[in-house]
A and B are shown apart, each in its own frame.
Chain A
């Protein structure tokens, strides 16, 4: 059923429909993410790609359609449920708290308490453990240019912040990491670093969904590209078999997409 050696997809969606009043944001949208790949999702503004991603991350509940994770149907009613199932999202806004430290941010909402009575009765946090773990997660991604795990996130550069957000997703995302415009706010050098980070994650076996408007970045790291238009997937293309201008033309409707059967 697929070109990737008959592997089962990690995350799929079939026939997703989402309407906001008279606007149909998702119109029978499909989606497939294979294991060990970076799948880019591209689409013009208003094509419904962010609604699609939100549905996969639990932030939007589709009116109709089915989402399967690892072959099993899932019904996320909140981002927390998607996270609990192993889908982590790196939001464009990063969702970091600037005044808190790197370690605090990594564990925000999932703090570790001390063992024994100090943890259960006095609910004391195990700061030492969280700092050690945070350091481990950051070094695993080659991010230990950050010297002090207790420095506030606001003292970091944009790229370093992105690194912290990615490290958080990688630390807790067991199945899928979704990255929303990770390079949009970054300079050339920092974007490079983030792209390396993504291939790094992929090498560690985590499939990534990348939403981006930046075609050179998409073509550089993506294994397959999901093209979204008018609320549905109109094509899946391989960067090796397609040029950037063709991709943009398909995305904007200037040329007919290749038939789906040929590319899957």
Chain B
């Protein structure tokens, strides 16, 4: 899910290193407000989403107004959001039972339903719906075209009359919001709210985007690619785990997979064009 947010950003020729931090911070805000501060769960949830969007907005605004590379800005905000998260949560986890008693809604996405005999969580269904929505925006709306154009050649996009700064701010804000939703999914998945969860999601999201064939130079790629990319990595990891391979060797092979996949992709593109 964080991969979807990352795809949007990479399409604009940017990169967001703070996605994981935004996700966790949002989930912590939702959890602490609802469980510890006793705020009604709807409001806590909405504030969590607002936190994510606000973080994204900060990223987008810093990138466009200070004209800094996204890599630098989000490297900074990664630390900032991460520190805010630990300060606010006092590094303490909210346990599964506490959430189930005070705000079961936060765990809603972890609920399993039977779809055609297979157990599927609402979280998975939610992610598929979100992917369809983002696909629609990218391919069927003017704003989607503007995202591609901005990433492809910002000068050309500007000359064609696109407000590239606004496009970037909206993209980063949307990505932040998606990360907040990912935080909600995270609560569903692990049941608890942990300020140290999702530590690898930054790099995982970039891996999924890259294996999915989206160019880090912007303007080329798709949501479907990222989903397939995430699926490849997931299936690969699962398969290796089932085969009983050591976790460290799993990491090792995923690394090899990235390099091989991207090399193949580049080679296929060169040959076909």
Contacts and interface: CB of A to CB of B under 8 A. Distances in A.
Interface string B93-124: 00000000000000000000000000000000
Given A111-B142, A122-B136, 5 more contacts: A79-B161, A97-B152, A98-B152, A98-B153, A113-B142
A108 B152 contact: no
A61 to B, nearest CB: 17
Q: Which 10 A-B pairs have the closest CB atoms?
A: A109-B161, A95-B159, A111-B142, A108-B160, A97-B149, A95-B156, A109-B160, A99-B219, A97-B152, A99-B152
Contact of A97 (B141, B160, B161): B160
A122 B132 CA distance: 13
B166 interface: no
B157 A108 contact: yes
Contact of B155 (A83, A95, A99, A111): A95
Interface in B145-169: 145-146, 148-149, 152-153, 155-157, 159-162
Interface of A: 79-80, 83, 89, 91, 93-100, 104-105, 108-111, 113, 122-125, 127, 155
A110 B140 CA distance: 14
Given A97-B219, A98-B152, A123 B142 contact: yes
B13 to A, nearest CB: 11
A125 B153 CA distance: 22
Given A97-B152, A99-B220, A100-B148, A79 B141 contact: no
Interface of B: 136, 140-143, 145-146, 148-149, 152-153, 155-157, 159-162, 219-220, 273
A179 to B, nearest CB: 14
Given A104-B145, A108-B145, A125-B141, A97 B273 contact: no
Contacts of A127: 140
A210 to B, nearest CB: 18
Q: Is the contact region of chain B dominated by helix, strand, or loop, or is it mixed?
A: helix
A99 B273 CA distance: 13
Contacts of B140: 124-125, 127
Contacts, number: 66
Contacts of A100: 145, 148-149, 152, 219
A99 B148 contact: yes
Contacts of B155: 93, 95
B161 A83 contact: yes
A120 to B, nearest CB: 12
Contacts of B160: 95, 97, 105, 108-109
Contacts of A97: 148-149, 152-153, 156-157, 160, 219
A24 to B, nearest CB: 26
18 contacts: A79-B161, A96-B153, A96-B156, A97-B148, A97-B156, A98-B152, A99-B148, A99-B152, A99-B220, A100-B145, A100-B152, A108-B162, A109-B161, A110-B161, A113-B142, A123-B142, A125-B140, A127-B140
A125 B219 CA distance: 19
Contacts of B153: 96-98
Contacts of A109: 146, 157, 160-162
B149 A91 contact: no
A180 to B, nearest CB: 11
A91 B159 CA distance: 8
A109 B146 CA distance: 8
A175 B273 CA distance: 39
Nearest to A127: B140
